[in-house]
């Protein structure tokens, strides 16, 4: 069993306020092996991200790493890294010793529903699986979840858990899209999926980011936990025996014809 803390926090434009929230959340995640925070935990989306982006050895990630080490658990969180003109929207993975183990730079940028993420963010190119808390974790960021080929590439790299981090935008049907897509990625790959979104932040509600609805979904697409819309921390369990049973009953990964991976 791996115990995972779903850390559904509101996000402020102020990185220092967000680091404080991360520290407070980790203190509440007692018994967890891995804590997952939302996309853009460093700072709320907006034109300010180009000024507030930090390298992975900057004060925000260093502060998260110190807190991970103090509490003895691994952490995944969303940050912005400086780039050439544009930033990278990065999911950083930190182990329980406070070492950065991986940085996944979001591949699919949210140029939809009137938004234009690519004006501020440069896309990444590499699907990323990282060993954390005894699991091989495939990293997925927000709009990425709409692209099943990314999740399939991660499973082909040995992912045992998908960590989906998001600052999901509100709007008609958007919450329904989120829950449907997260369940679909879990079910079609018979893979545990921990999806963590920003909680709504009433002080910043005009931008529409953050619907909550962080979830743990099992390999048959069953929602094992749903945090609703309020801020909260919930520790859940991922059981590899459930994955094995699901893949025995539903061996769809073995039945693939197009793009199948054979040993």
Catalytic-residue membership of 39: yes
DSSP structural state of residue 39:
T
Angle between helices 15-28 and 59-71 (to 10 degrees): 10
Which among 7, 39, 54, 160 is annotated as catalytic? 39
Decide if 10 contacts 196 (C-beta within 8 A): no
Rounded CA-CA distance 74/35 in Å is 6
Q: The tokens 């003895």 sit on which residue?
A: 72
Token reading at 94: 């930190």
DSSP structural state of residue 113:
T
Rounded CA-CA distance 90/81 in Å is 7
Catalytic-residue membership of 30: no
Residues facing residue 136 across a β-bridge: 131
Rounded CA-CA distance 125/136 in Å is 19
Catalytic-residue membership of 175: no
Which among 7, 54, 81, 106 is annotated as catalytic? 106
Which among 7, 54, 142, 160 is annotated as catalytic? 142
Token reading at 114: 């009137």
Give me the half-sphere count of Cα atoms (radius 13 Å) on the Cβ side of residue 114.
5
Rounded CA-CA distance 28/24 in Å is 7
Which residues are marked as active site? 39, 106, 142
């Amino acid at each position: 069993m791996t115990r995972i803390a779903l850390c559904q926090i509101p996000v402020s434009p102020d990185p220092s306020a967000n680091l404080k929230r991360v520290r407070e959340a980790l203190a509440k995640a007692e018994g967890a092996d891995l804590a997952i925070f939302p996309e853009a935990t460093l700072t709320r989306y907006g034109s300010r991200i180009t000024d507030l982006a930090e390298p992975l050895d900057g004060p925000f990630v260093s502060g998260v790493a110190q807190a991970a080490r103090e509490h003895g658990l691994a952490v995944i969180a969303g940050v912005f890294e400086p780039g050439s003109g544009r930033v990278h929207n990065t999911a950083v993975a930190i182990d329980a010793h406070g070492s950065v183990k991986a940085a996944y730079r979001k591949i699919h940028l949210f140029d939809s529903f009137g938004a234009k993420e690519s004006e501020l963010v440069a896309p990444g190119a590499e699907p990323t699986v990282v060993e954390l808390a005894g699991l091989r974790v495939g990293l997925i960021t927000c709009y990425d979840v709409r692209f099943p080929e990314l999740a399939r590439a991660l499973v082909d790299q040995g992912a045992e858990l998908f960590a989906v981090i998001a600052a999901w935008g509100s709007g008609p049907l958007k919450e329904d899209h989120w829950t449907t897509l997260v369940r679909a990625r879990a079910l079609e790959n018979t893979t545990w999926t921990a999806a963590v979104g920003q909680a709504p932040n009433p002080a910043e509600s005009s931008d529409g980011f953050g619907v909550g609805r962080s979830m743990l979904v099992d390999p048959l697409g069953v929602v094992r936990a749903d945090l609703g819309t309020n801020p909260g921390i919930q520790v859940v369990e991922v059981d590899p025996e459930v994955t094995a049973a699901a893949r025995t009953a539903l061996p769809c990964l073995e039945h693939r014809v197009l793009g199948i991976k054979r040993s």
